[in-house]
């Protein structure tokens, strides 16, 4: 079940990343635990072109550390981050 869920997230995210030229891709990673949100974010960013925007929604509190650290490594830009209830949202622009 877990493997099917991650495959489904990958397929949806890749499809949305392709459409990102007109609108930001929003990827629901709620319920995934470290290191999956950052690994999937890295994979998605590697397939994007400069200027595209990716929106990540997570519930793992460690992403508040992991996503900014990933972006320092990749050189991509954290446009904004927010928290509403348990949901952490990161808006990332591909460099």
List, by residue number, the catalytic residues: 34
Strand order in the sheet with 25-29: 25-29, 53-58, 87-93, 77-84
Q: Identify the CA nearest to 40 among candidates 78, 73, 64, 7.
A: 7
């Amino acid at each position: 079940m877990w493997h099917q869920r991650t495959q489904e997230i990958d397929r949806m995210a890749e499809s949305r990343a392709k459409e990102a030229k007109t609108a930001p891709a929003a990827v629901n990673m709620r319920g995934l635990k470290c290191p999956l949100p950052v690994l999937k974010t890295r994979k998605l960013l590697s397939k994007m072109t400069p200027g595209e925007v990716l929106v990540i929604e997570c519930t793992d509190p460690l992403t508040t550390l992991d996503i900014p650290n990933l972006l320092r490594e990749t050189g991509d830009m954290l446009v904004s981050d927010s928290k509403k209830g348990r949901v952490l949202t990161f808006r990332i622009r591909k460099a």
